[in-house]
Structure 1
């Protein structure tokens, strides 16, 4: 496999992961470039689990940047890429509005998670990695992956339930329900 073939095979996964972790297209592009510079400087042809290895490098780069820019995370823009993907086909206005709301709520929930939990959620649901691949990527036991995933989903579920009950109270108060 050539460097170009390796890049073509994993570029989208790396970019998508960077984008969801950083919430900024330019930072994601820059970090994606940095990841492949790092990969190509290594003996990547000798790596047994190439995808997991590249995703581990990607996640490490993302977490390092997040640590350096901790205060900027809340200020970063919404997920444009996901919006463009979901509205690519012709949809009703109602569907588009609902999807925008769901995307915004998902992003808000992700932003409220600690970095370790956000990393597991991102790799699992955005990167579509298996539990084993996540464990290899983050260099943690599979049990830790499962517990972090469980904890993150529990936190997100609780926040969703709180938001839903606030919304229902508002509807009852204004007689719109």
Structure 2
């Protein structure tokens, strides 16, 4: 069998697999082309189960392509986030967002180190739970527990900051002090 015969025999199967994995015709064509280049560089004439071997190479090429695409999109997203954006928001909203952002940053920094690292990897770096577990070298359940605790602690801080006075109290903006209700006297 020649390389041309091999290509003609399996080209449609390889392309179809690439297309169903990548959902994009041009990317499927490119990866299909790369698969056959890889195959022709190997000692493919000695392979016993050609279609199985070819499909394994195809799937691996598709997975590698998807990883590269994901990494590229993540870099693009980070670059966009780091690039100063022009804002059309009123100055008071910009100032409020900046204050809230600083407040959240402070709260995250106040979290215990193990919980903070899990939260930052998961939400700031957009790691999956398993990637976070692998990075921290802890079991998946531990990562889930730390993230749950972190979210719970942050939620408590948010609720506390959102409610400046206790039930039954009235805060006087004019005098800047608490007025005790008649039921507390």
TM category (shorter chain) comes to 0.3 to 0.5
Higher helix share: 1
| Higher Cα radius of gyration | 2
Q: TM-score, normalised by structure 1?
A: 0.46
Q: TM-score, normalised by structure 2?
A: 0.45
- Identify which of structures 1 and 2 has the higher relative contact order when contacts are C-alpha pairs closer than 8 Å and 6+ apart: 1
Higher strand share: 2
